[in-house]
Amino acid sequence: MSNPIITVNNTSKKYIIGENIHGRGKRTLRNIVDHRVKRLFSEEERRKSREETTIWALKDISFQVEEGDVIGIIGRNGSGKSTLLKILARITEPTRGEIILRGRAASLLEVGSGFHLELTGRENIYLNGSILGMRKAEIDRRFDEIVQYAEIEKLLDTPAKRYSSGMYMRLAFAVAAHLEAEILLIDEVLAVGDIQFQKKCLGTMGDISRSGRTILFVSHNMEAVSQLCRKSLLLQSGTMVDYSETQTIILRYMQLSNM
């Protein structure tokens, strides 16, 4: 048995939120100084700030993923799903713990975030591919495939601001779908686009998983999760409730939600 492609050991993530909530306004220098001074003189302020300053978005998560698995990550809003993906994508750091990835990980968090409206479709393909970690040679090689998938041949040299939102989404997903990373981290891609587009996305993700790559898939769409993922991971307020067969997990999730 080979090593798991993803190993997550006792990983936790703490967010410091104190100085940014409860009517204190933004973290500007003035607000911070103001807050610190108040805290110095008032017991009440000190107590409040201790309670408010930290929140554990993830608590002691451990799990492993074998190469080629498609894992669903489910849980209610604020349960830590996106934080987990962000840590795996190295966008933010864990506060404690260790994660070992045996392969390149690419994040597909909200497709199209690297797009620029003033650039043409062609320019956006290169820019976005490069942002997602593709080499220029790689993009050159897959350029025609991407254009064909996105169905934007005619508008290749038109600025993206003239695209319909459907075309925009197709192009964004097309670039991401042609990444050559071993691990794909996908957050709620299906929340946008029409039904046809969603079906196409699901189909592509099925193809990607059959090509032997590993996918971590965050979604609220239970139908999509049960279709794509053999195993799933259930999170609730930062802790891992369960990690096993998708059907079992979805049942537990339903039970938790009804409680």
Q: Which is nearer to other proteins, 107 or 246 (CB)?
A: 107
Residues contacting other proteins: total by CB under 8 A: 44
Q: In this complex, which beta carbon is closest to other proteins, that of residue 90 or of residue 199?
A: 90
Minimum Å distance from CB 253 to other proteins?
Answer: 26
Judged by CB, which is closer to other proteins: 97, or 166?
A: 97
Pick 188 or 246: Cβ nearer other proteins: 188
The residue among 139 and 235 lying less far from other proteins, judged by its C-beta, is 139
Please state the three-class secondary structure of 149-212 as a single string.
Answer: HHCCHHHCCCEHHHCCHHHHHHHHHHHHHCCCCCEEEEECHHHCCCHHHHHHHHHHHHHHHHCC
Pick 131 or 251: Cβ nearer other proteins: 131
The CB-of-234 to other proteins minimum distance in angstroms stands at 22
DSSP sequence for 6-61: EEEEEEEEEEE-GGGSTT--S--HHHHHHHHHHHHH-HHHHHHHHHHHEEEEEEEE
Residues 79-138 that bind other proteins (CB under 8 A): 86-105, 107, 109-110, 113-114, 116, 118-119, 123, 126-127, 130-133, 135-136
Q: What are phi and psi of 161, to 5 degrees?
A: -70, -15
Tokens of 96: 């404690």
CB of 60 to other proteins, least distance (A): 14
Q: Nearest approach, Cβ of 89 to other proteins (angstroms)?
A: 6
Query: Least distance (Å) from other proteins to the CB of residue 91?
Result: 5
| Count of CB atoms situated within 10 Å of the CB of 197 | 16
CB 161 within 8 A of CB 118: yes
* Whole-number Cα distances in Å, 97 to 61, 63, 214: 9, 12, 22
What part of residues 25-64 is at the interface with other proteins (CB under 8 A)? 26-30
Tokens, residue 107: 């994040």
The residues in 153-212 that bind other proteins, with binding defined as CB under 8 A, are: 182
Rounded Cα distance, 171 and 177, in Å: 10
Q: Cα(228)–Cα(235) distance, rounded to whole angstroms?
A: 19
Q: How far is the CB of 250 from other proteins (least distance, A)?
A: 28
Which residue's CB is nearer to other proteins, number 100 or number 251?
100
CA-CA distances (angstroms) from residue 68 to 33, 71, 109, 132, 214?
51, 10, 20, 21, 4
Q: Minimal distance in Å, beta carbon 127 to other proteins?
A: 5
Binding positions for other proteins, rule: CB under 8 A? 15, 26-30, 86-105, 107, 109-110, 113-114, 116, 118-119, 123, 126-127, 130-133, 135-136, 182
